[in-house]
Amino acid sequence: MSEILQVIGSYDFLHNVFCGFTHLTWQAAVMIAIGAILIYLGVAKDYEPLLLVPIGFGCILANLPLTELIHVPREGFVFRDDIHDILNNVGLLPMSEGSKLVDQGILDVLYNAGIGNELFPCLLFIGIGAMTDFGPLLQNPRIMILGGAGQFGIFLTLLLALAIGYTKLEAICIAIIGACDGPTSIYITTKFNPTLLGPISVAAYSYMSLVPIIQPPVMKMVTTWKERKMTMSYQKLKPVSQRTKVLFPIVVTIVTLLIAPSGAPLMGTLMLGNFLRECGVVGRLVKSAENEIASVTTLFLGLTVGATMNGDVFLTAKTLGIFALGFIAICSDTAFGVFGAKIMNIFSRVKVNPLIGAAGISAFPMSARVVHKVGTEANPQSYLLMHAMGVNTSGQIGSVLAASVMIAVITALQGMGVNLAL
């Protein structure tokens, strides 16, 4: 009996039996609380639940001590496999200095399969393309330019981030929050600075869900009541033939990829999804793309991104800066979109309500609905929804295009030997 008591009373025994508690750090506890808040926002407040729930759960799973589901930051680990074992057995450790040889956890497997190689955001884009109807945009193609104007918040944020001391590659990843497009943000961050994946994806999805709260005050600030109450006619819009709708994704793919070939994974998959939808002969593939593929990818993407939210990486002043700059990015996108519409009105005979410019971001269809709501508040006779939907879909193209062109410019600089890490 005394032997048993001696064992139970020993520090080592208790430390190992209750290892979950003894290894829990304050950073992990805070991250578990943040994961719980994300789940709460998704479940109780309905803020982007499809993403915030798996992100929140992934965050909790990864921060519980000793679970070994995922290893972050990735640079600190080398994953054991047959080759490593063979080299290890003959005394050649294929490891960089300071790295630790570990077994892959299930979330490591998902990370390597779909995040590290940027596959998941691209699969998601096939689903987004299959769900998007570019009809309202094709009826009035000149509004496509507003989808470009709405991206200038990205560049303003880039300059701000650089001015306050973020490195170049960090600033690109932060600025892309202004695309208001989760998969694009994840794609760019994975490509240029994977350590920021957690804070950037959480900021991107949080702000996307807050579009109905963030955008209206900005819209009102940059427009007069007279501008907001302006009505827009639907009579001059010519219906679009199915042939035009089928040709559109092919044309966009060719034009954009000739200009920015390195954006092919983003634009190519978005337009592939849309072509499947419009060609009308692959109903099963469209159904799979917008349901099964999109759902499975969303789950794996959210879970893995959430799991990268390690306390050491997330709980820093940098994260606060990322959230502040992300907020500025979305506000300035809204303002630039409205200014774009105002500039368009100077040169155009047929005037548009400047509010529709605010929908030139990728948060579809939420932003279009917000524009319509603000328009009807100023004038109940005004019906801006379909015009705003057109601009909103152009915002989707614009955000992917801006990201693709940024990748092309950065790739060109790297090709010239410019070290962007300096």
Partner 1 sequence: MEVIGDMSFGLLLTIVAGGLTIISLGIMIVIVNILKSFQKD
Is residue 235 close enough to count as binding partner 1 by CB under 8 A? no
Contact mark string toward partner 1, 397..416, x via CB under 8 A: xx--xx--xx-xxx--x--x
Q: Which of residues 300-339 bind partner 1 (CB under 8 A)?
A: none
CB of 392 to partner 1, least distance (A): 14
CA distance 350 to 372: 19
Tokens of 46: 């309905």
Is residue 176 close enough to count as binding partner 1 by CB under 8 A? no
CA distance 411 to 264: 13
User: Which ranges constitute the DSSP H helices of 292-384?
Assistant: 294-307, 311-314, 317-347, 366-378
CA distance 332 to 27: 33
Please give the backbone phi and psi of residue 78, each rounded to the nearest 5 degrees, phi first: -120, 135
Q: Which of residues 178-217 bind partner 1 (CB under 8 A)?
A: none
Query: By CB under 8 A, which span of 59-67, 84-92, 145-153, 364-372 interacts with partner 1?
Result: 145-153
Among 27, 67, 88, 244, binds partner 1 (CB under 8 A): 244
Closest to partner 1 by CB, 146 vs 315, is 146
Consecutive H or E run containing 102: strand 100-102
Closest to partner 1 by CB, 216 vs 321, is 321
Is residue 350 close enough to count as binding partner 1 by CB under 8 A? no
Q: How far is CA 138 from CA 95, 245, 344, 387, in A?
A: 54, 8, 18, 11
Give the amino acid at 411.
T
CB of 160 to partner 1, least distance (A): 9
Nearest to 53 by CA among 65, 66, 43: 43
Closest to partner 1 by CB, 355 vs 406, is 406
Nearest to 333 by CA among 170, 182, 155: 155
Among 34, 70, 171, 358, binds partner 1 (CB under 8 A): 171
- Tell me what percent of the chain is helix, strand and coil, each rounded to the nearest 5: 75, 0, 25
Is residue 8 close enough to count as binding partner 1 by CB under 8 A? no
CB of 277 to partner 1, least distance (A): 17
Total chain residues near partner 1 (CB under 8 A): 48
Tokens of 341: 């519409």
Query: By CB under 8 A, which span of 25-33, 164-172, 197-205, 365-373 interacts with partner 1?
Result: 164-172
Tokens of 162: 């650089």
Give the amino acid at 27.
Q
As separate numbers, helices (DSSP H) first and strands (DSSP E) second, the chain gives 24, 2
CB of 304 to partner 1, least distance (A): 28
Half-sphere CA count of 202, side-chain side, radius 13 A: 32
Is residue 24 close enough to count as binding partner 1 by CB under 8 A? no
CB of 238 to partner 1, least distance (A): 7
CA quadruple 123, 279, 362, 51: dihedral positive or negative? negative
Among 142, 280, 296, 350, binds partner 1 (CB under 8 A): 142
Contact mark string toward partner 1, 45..84, x via CB under 8 A: ----------------------------------------
Is residue 95 close enough to count as binding partner 1 by CB under 8 A? no
Among 60, 144, 389, 391, binds partner 1 (CB under 8 A): 144
Query: Please, are residues 297 and 269 in contact by the beta-carbon 8 Å criterion?
Result: no
DSSP annotation of 178: G
Q: Which of residues 250-279 bind partner 1 (CB under 8 A)?
A: 251-252, 255-256, 259-260
CB of 139 to partner 1, least distance (A): 9
Residue located via tokens 């592939």: 272
Please give the backbone phi and psi of residue 101, each rounded to the nearest 5 degrees, phi first: -85, 120
Is residue 419 close enough to count as binding partner 1 by CB under 8 A? yes
Q: Which residues bind partner 1 (CB under 8 A)?
A: 138, 141-142, 144-145, 147-149, 151-152, 155, 158-159, 162-163, 168, 171-172, 238, 240-241, 243-244, 247-248, 251-252, 255-256, 259-260, 394, 397-398, 401-402, 405-406, 408-410, 413, 416-420, 422
